A and B are shown apart, each in its own frame.
Chain A
Amino acid sequence: MMEKVARGKAFVFAENIDTDQIYPGRFVELTDIEDVAKHAMEGADPNFVKEFKKGDIIVAATNFGCGSSREHAAITLKAVGVGAIVAESFGRIFYRNAINIGVPVLVCPGIGKLIKSGDILTVDIESGKICNETTGVVAQAQPMSEYVMNILASGGIKPMIKKQLQSVNK
């Protein structure tokens, strides 16, 4: 199940952070989740996995996750325990992949300018309210559709389908 409120340190990125930067192509062959976690954001910030702690929050400008359909990009961020990803906009397939595996992704225009790396944030996933505890600034993300909230509340598409299959087979 997803945590309803994420609280952690902000890691801020610029616009157009693509899936190759989130997870370089040469590691896509890896399938063990522990191995996948070692390479999160490696193309954008080689120190990321050393500094990122479970529950911390990624903040980005526009088009975060643009590029490839590789689900590894979302999986690697889930594997490091990202509390939420807040961006001005997302690459389409990344957004879908993140929701499918149960990672909260919030769209919040203008957020890139309101937060600096290292700020402590509280993100209410359901209401979309983002509080910057370091500066006192509050921002409001766009609400997620009911369909998307249902998937997140189920912990992702996999448990959701599994449950559906079980009820069909009963």
Chain B
Amino acid sequence: MHAIEKLLAQKAGKESVSTGEIVNCTVDLAGINDLYLQTVRSFFEMGGTKVHDPSKVIMFLDHYAPASTIVQADNQKQFREFCWDQGIDLLMDINEGVCHQVLADRGLSHPGEIIVVTDSHTTTHGAFGAFGTGVGATDLATILITGKLWFRVPEIIRINFEGELPKGVYAKDIILHVIGELGADYAVYKAVEFTGFTLKQLSISERMALCNMTTEMGAKTSYIQPDEITMEFLKKKVTRNYEIFTTDPGYQYAAEHTFDVSNLKPQLAAPFSVDNVSDVTAFTGRKIDQAYLGSCTGGRVEDLAVAAKILAGKKISKRTRFVVVPASRGVFLEAMAKGYVQTLVEAGATFVTPGCAACLGTHQGMLASGETCITSTNRNFPGRMGHTKGEIFLGSPAAVAAAALEGKIVDPSQYID
């Protein structure tokens, strides 16, 4: 069996599971964010009165942090009251940040557990050897009532990376390249495991970016076998015991792909699809109106560090806005302590409260018709950040910072020592 299958089997109370089987699993941690008041409504509509196990539920007020309309404020108010009424202590209010980053910061994401959040990018937690998957409001309400959820045991695809990453090329470039090659629907209903030599060069933060973006190829979940880099990260964060599952030798994957990254160039996904990917040089010189650094894919300390390095002692282009959104309060504090915030604000950046901000097209950096944005976020769908005629390019944090500096798309490698 694969490690993912062993994990699912244990949570379903079974000796083994096989591909395609539907299993009912105990969920270790269920997260709800503030887009999903429907979860609370569904809970009551189903006849729920008491949450099955409040200690396994976490609430994030991250997508509307802080509320910018009365309706959003009212939704958040109802969430807070639900937490207080139900004894849910893990209420992450508007001062905490993006759900996936908060889970990592607090050591709540670790190997061997099922983490289900009402956010499609819950695949991020594969970086820790967890089974993370996103669901809608009704599925989450089912967990609130029963503590369990049904899963179809997925086919598993192995994606292997070989070679050393060139200067100025990051995990974001790798995963954009993979999605460009395989397509936005390649892994629908499947799980994606990442392996190979290149992973040894990637920090937890970079691994989170890889796993986060598997959602953009349709994946149900992702997985990286925990290693010494994982353990080093978890040692500082996690206090409770956990189990690490390993894949049996000779396990047959549904498909296997190997990518050599040693000659990879910085990548961009051009409007309006995440799999519309090419080398950044294909768009060199394209004028941009806004550069956006943030989100659960591209708003970590390492991402702000790269941007600060590129912009230290310089000024962003006068024709460009540079919006920076730290992924969490933890990230914000660390970026302040290390001087990145000072550097970026001096260069002309506008800082926004940790959270999802304009990534989902609600507030704090929306695009007008005909505007172009380069962003470290994970989606460039039509209308994703505002007007449907606003164009979004996805790239690495380095590509975003370099574009903010020049006011146009450039190859970021030239700014990296």
**In the assembled complex, A162 has its CB within 8 A of some CB on chain B:** yes
Please state if B120 and A158 are interface contacts (CB–CB under 8 Å).
no
Chain B residue, CB-CB nearest to A99: B138
**In the assembled complex, A92 has its CB within 8 A of some CB on chain B:** yes
Can you identify 17 A-B contacts, CB atoms within 8 angstroms? A20-B379, A25-B360, A25-B384, A29-B71, A31-B37, A31-B75, A43-B382, A69-B134, A69-B135, A89-B188, A91-B188, A96-B139, A100-B138, A157-B142, A158-B138, A161-B145, A162-B46
> Min CB distance, A27 to chain B, in Å?
9
A-B pairs with CB below 8 Å: how many? 129
> Min CB distance, A91 to chain B, in Å?
7
**Residues of chain A within 8 A of B382, CB atoms compared:** 20-21, 43-44
Chain A residue, CB-CB nearest to B45: A158
Task: Among A29, A62, A67, point to the contact of B379 (Cβ < 8 A).
Answer: A67
Please state if A62 and B46 are interface contacts (CB–CB under 8 Å).
no
**In the assembled complex, A140 has its CB within 8 A of some CB on chain B:** no
Please state if A20 and B46 are interface contacts (CB–CB under 8 Å).
no
A5 CA to B100 CA, complexed, in Å: 42
Please state if A66 and B184 are interface contacts (CB–CB under 8 Å).
yes
Please state if B47 and A165 are interface contacts (CB–CB under 8 Å).
yes
A30 CA to B220 CA, complexed, in Å: 27
A157 CA to B119 CA, complexed, in Å: 19
CB under 8 Å from chain B, chain A span 43-75:
43-44, 62-63, 66-72, 74-75
- Other A-B contacts than A20-B379, A30-B71, 19 sampled, CB-CB below 8 A, are A18-B381, A21-B381, A21-B383, A24-B361, A25-B384, A66-B188, A67-B379, A67-B381, A68-B120, A69-B118, A69-B134, A70-B136, A93-B120, A93-B135, A96-B139, A157-B139, A158-B46, A158-B141, A165-B48
Residue-wise, chain B 121-148 has the 8 Å CB interface mask toward A (1 for contact) of 0000000000000111111011001100
**Residues of chain A within 8 A of B146, CB atoms compared:** 161
**In the assembled complex, A26 has its CB within 8 A of some CB on chain B:** yes
Please state if B361 and A26 are interface contacts (CB–CB under 8 Å).
yes
A75 CA to B189 CA, complexed, in Å: 21
Taking A92-B188, A147-B150 as contacts, is the C-beta distance between A156 and B136 under 8 angstroms?
no
A68 CA to B379 CA, complexed, in Å: 10
Chain B contact residues: over half helix, strand or loop, or mixed? loop
> Min CB distance, B26 to chain A, in Å?
16
Chain B residue, CB-CB nearest to A36: B38
The total of chain B residues at the interface (CB under 8 A) is 49
Please state if A29 and B64 are interface contacts (CB–CB under 8 Å).
yes
Chain A residue, CB-CB nearest to B72: A29
Task: Among A20, A62, A75, point to the contact of B38 (Cβ < 8 A).
Answer: A75
**Residues of chain A within 8 A of B136, CB atoms compared:** 69-71, 74, 93, 96-97, 100
Top 3 closest pairs, chain A to chain B, by CB: A71-B136, A25-B361, A97-B136
Taking A28-B362, A71-B38, A90-B188 as contacts, is the C-beta distance between A165 and B46 under 8 angstroms?
yes
Please state if B142 and A66 are interface contacts (CB–CB under 8 Å).
no
**Residues of chain B within 8 A of A74, CB atoms compared:** 136
A5 CA to B68 CA, complexed, in Å: 44
Residue-wise, chain B 15-48 has the 8 Å CB interface mask toward A (1 for contact) of 0000000100000000000011110011001111
